Amino acid sequence: MFREVIFNRRMLICIFTGFSSGLPLYILISLLPAWLRSEQVDLKAIGLFALIQLPFTWKFIWSPLMDRFAWPLLGRRRGWILLTQAALLLSLPLFGWLNPQLDIWTIAYLAAAVAFFSASQDVVLDAFRREILLDVELGLGNAIHVNAYRIASLIPGSLSLILADHLPWSSVFTITALFMLPGIFMTLLAKEPERIQGAPRTLREAVVEPFHEFVTRSGWRQALLILAFIFFYKLGDSMATALATPFYLDMGFSKTEIGLVAKHAGLWPAIIGGLLGGVWMIRLGINRALWLFGVVQAVSILGFALLANNGHDLVLLAGVIGLEALGVGLGTTAFVAFIARATHPLYTATQFALFTSLSAVPRTLFNSATGYLVEQLGWVSFFLMCTLLALPGMALLVKVAPWHEKNGASLNG
């Protein structure tokens, strides 16, 4: 049984969904800030660029369209996936033809469009993954997805930065965009999930019923607590890493050092953390995993404060990034499994989009202020503040994922 859960076609598909989902986001939050900073754009402006990620917060608004309507050739899920992936492949290279000093508003509009296409792809990829995975595969399948998601960060956060020291930015963005092709091949080769009986037949049903079902499942108070937990659980970590690349640059690290050390030092801890998280959840259950992994995730933020206090130190940089990757790899795996468990099979796209949209709020609204906070507090105090902001989400676990309820009865009623 254990072997069948790990080695099957569905787990292979999760690798491609994670990579295709993570690549455009990391271009926006890693490569784009590095490009702007290297072209002498100030930190305040770079921080405000987090606002272009608002589509990740509001994607639940148009997600009912993806639950209701299907494309004639590839079906309800794969048709939407291919459309969004093609839009990303065509739009990402356009960044390289713009000048940050002269075209900053055009860059902002283009970044907002890329964020919209990426958020739309996430809606349907999340639904597709939830629908092909068996319940027993949720923990490990989402762990693989999260790992591939994080591995995708190495393209814009490592390879592209190294290329930027040797090639013009137009070539860098074009090469980076071509990494969307594996996801497109997966979309063409994968099988469409069977349409679940009782799925929305009208647009009104697709819009109203997902929210009605969620609120009435365990009562509106429990629904609000779950939404608050989703908002707060990764707030501290999200803010701490919002300006990671500019932080490394300010510490005196070159783009090549960031590409070779800062990014690769997090690769194996992230993979180990994610896979161990998926395997441990089989024994621990999602609830206890959220507790244990959340502690590691919060403590890892303190490493950034230590690095800020010590300055340019490649060994310390590797250690801090490795610990952060391990903590976030564990925490994110449990968090995504929690979200998947909270969805109803009839309304996968809309409910998954609602929950992930809420989790993206810190990355958009709150992260837009990180540049101002750093300039007011300094890097050390900023990271200490981010550690404190990780605590409210941990406190909410008492209500939404009690330690003694291993299988999450509080969610399912």
* Window from 149-158, 295-304, 354-363 with minimum mean pLDDT: 354-363
The predicted structure's pLDDT at residue 413? 37
**Residue 35 and residue 161 in contact, taking contact as beta carbons nearer than 8 Å:** no
The predicted structure's pLDDT at residue 36? 84
Mean pLDDT of all residues belonging to the chain: 83
The predicted structure's pLDDT at residue 411? 42
pLDDT at 219 over 70: yes
Q: Give the 3-state secondary structure of residue 71.
A: strand
Tokens of 194: 């069977």
The predicted structure's pLDDT at residue 4? 56
All domains in the chain, ordered by first residue: 2-412 (1.20.1250.20)
pTM (global) more than 0.75 = no
| More reliable by pLDDT, 383 or 245 | 383
pLDDT at 361 over 80: no
Tokens of 167: 């090639």
Q: Is the dihedral of CA 67, 286, 239, 265 positive or negative?
A: negative
Q: Vertex 364, ends 359 and 366: CA angle to 5°? A: 90
pLDDT at 283 over 90: no
Among 77, 72, 56, which Cα is nearest to 124's?
A: 77
* Window from 82-96, 239-253, 349-363 with minimum mean pLDDT: 349-363
Q: Model confidence over 298-311: pLDDT tens digits? A: 888 998 999 998 88
The predicted structure's pLDDT at residue 5? 53
pLDDT at 60 over 80: yes
DSSP secondary structure string, 217-276?
A: HH-HHHHHHHHHHHHHTTHHHHHHTTTHHHHHHHTT--HHHIIIIITGGGHHHHHHHHHH
